Amino acid sequence: MEDEQPDKQYEIREGIVFLIELTPSVKSHLVDILKSIGDLISQLIISCPHNGVGIYFYNCAKTNRKLGKRSGLNKLFRLNDINVSAMKVLNAIIDDTIDDFENFTSQFPIDDNPRLDLVLQAILGEFQRGKQYNVKKLVWITDNDCPKVENKESTRSFLSDYDQFKYQIIPIFMDTSKEFNIDVYKDLFLQTGYINNLIRISLVKKEFSNQIRDSILRLKEIKRIQFACNLILSDGEMGGRFGCSIKGYTLYDHETITRSRNMYISESGPKIVKTSTKYSSGDLQDDQIDSAKIRRGYELNNNTIIHFDEDQLKFMKNYAFHHGGTEEIEDSLGEVESDDHPYTKTPYLKLVGFRKMGNFENYFNCKNSIFVSADIQNGRTTSSLDYGYTNSFTTFASLYQSCLKLNKYMIVFGCIKRNSSPYLYSLVPNHQPQGFLLIKKPWLNEIRCLPEYVMTEEYLKKQNDESLSEKFIKIINQYYLSSFKPSDWPNPTLNYWYKILKYELLQNSISPQDKLLQNNDDMLKKRNFLNNDIQNVKEFNFIKSQLNKIGNTYTVKQNNAMPPNKKPRLELTEDVVLTAWNKNEWNYFTVAQLKEFINKYPNQIKKGSTKQELIDNISDFLSKRT
């Protein structure tokens, strides 16, 4: 999966295939399995409507003609985008199975002679048919721990193809009266890491329905991988090239709806708005400009805009901080001396050192933290990495345990994405979930703090007011939020989006008041209520007045300490202004001087609000005088 450009949004589209082996024990619990899949589809159609789901049964006496020969594979519905037809088929089979189980048995009779290699080959073809999905998962549900594998090498070869194409396999093995023996599957998954995704469920326990439902609904929880890179603990020949491959996950984020297509309602129904873009200069619409000549401007601190063309932007992205390719640079410089520490290609993180946890300032964390864990695939499934470290999980676990035992955290430096700039980060061990939190360390100008005059020892001794601290503590305790469960708060963006969609499809009118943000966002209502409520708290008003006194005192002190102007302002005479008018040299005069000159001639020179208006009015006055 190639990395997307930073200015393009990457949409995750999952294709999920449920592969269920029909055995007598599984068929008795089939209704619970299918109901859980139906609940999953009902939730995905709201949060991930572009995902696809397919349900297949194997170990059948009848093989679907589109799914190979003698594979024993049949379908309830094929892998396609979530749609109403598939949900109707699923609900119908659930209702029919509840009322008459023999009807399902006659529709999908058992063969007891599955060919795993042919089944995997057919499912592989189904995945390759669904080219619109960039994340593909096979959920393998079975309770048969002794499958007949006629051609073990062929089966392993197809499983290696799944691993090579980066198709995920999530096995759900069910314990019957005896514990499920995974030795056969462990041997088949030998060259892959699919056994690490294993989910075990007991068919004989009463809570089976809840277990299978939780396991299937967990599939909608997309692991929001923000980055994948190598954590380099020691590089170079002397350091032994020691490290581990890691992945960073988003802990929390705000979902947003991105409108990928503009729609309008016509007499025949909703239609897509087709747009095109071309560059033109000035008012000449036919004068089209080559896109290669378009430049991107970046504004600097002094309001200066610097422009870069496409080649310059590409150069800065690839070679910034010497972490791009070095072949062209070496060719241009001729022979260069070999270096035991070559520049590392992005993405990467390098260990700088360790610090005690007492030195970690958590109040400097002003952005979302990223949860970091080991890459159990050792970087093999990450396209942005040229290589990964072996035994990454063991190395990462030892590093984590050592940091906890020694009560230390790591300082690392590097780029977590291919096109990102290097930064300094803190890797802080976290107890639950077990792993590290990657926290970006701010630059000095990014830190919000009290003014410098407040932080001096002399000032703190004078202004050490315990009453202020007590009132601060009282306010914080009064508005302290003990816990926050996102599930208790509806998503205002999604609810608003479906509300507008409903009105559009039903052709109902919607009032302007219903479109306002404050009428649809519960969090915004709470925030406005809290803001108004805190303004009426006595302690808050007292603190605000005390801090204002401190600031006003310092401002007056600074103004009194300012030296007087070295150049006193000169009074403009008529001769000086007349000379400036003849030479058209007005840059030496200030607005205050021009206004003072106009006040000398009341009702003769018009007043103005800008400097140019003042100059024009004085010029008109002088031209009439001459």
At 204 the pLDDT is 62
What SS3 class is residue 165?
coil
| Beta strands 348-356; 370-374: pairing state | unpaired
Query: Tens digits of per-residue pLDDT, 273-304?
Result: 877 766 665 555 555 556 666 777 777 655 67
Residue 155 burial (C-beta neighbours within 10 Å; 0-12, 13-18, 19+): buried
Query: Tens digits of per-residue pLDDT, 420-463?
Result: 778 899 999 988 888 999 999 887 766 666 666 666 666 666 55
Query: Tens digits of per-residue pLDDT, 199-242?
Result: 777 766 666 778 888 888 877 665 677 888 889 998 766 666 78
Element (H, E) at 57: strand 52-58
Q: Report the pLDDT averaged over residues 268-273.
A: 75
Residue 110 is given by DSSP the state B
Name beta bridge partners: 410. Answer: 354, 427
CB-CB contact of 90 with 41 (8 Å) = yes
Full DSSP string of 308-326: E-HHHHHHHHHHGGG-S--
At 278 the pLDDT is 67
402: left (phi over 0), alpha (psi -120 to 50) or beta: alpha
Torsion angle defined by CA atoms of residues 322, 304, 300 and 346, in that order, rounded to the nearest 10 degrees: -20
Can you tell me the distance from the alpha carbon of 30 to that of 400, in angstroms, rounded to the nearest whole number?
42
Full DSSP string of 207-265: THHHHHHHHHHGGGS---EEEEEEEEEE-HHHHT-EEEEEEEEES---------S-EEE
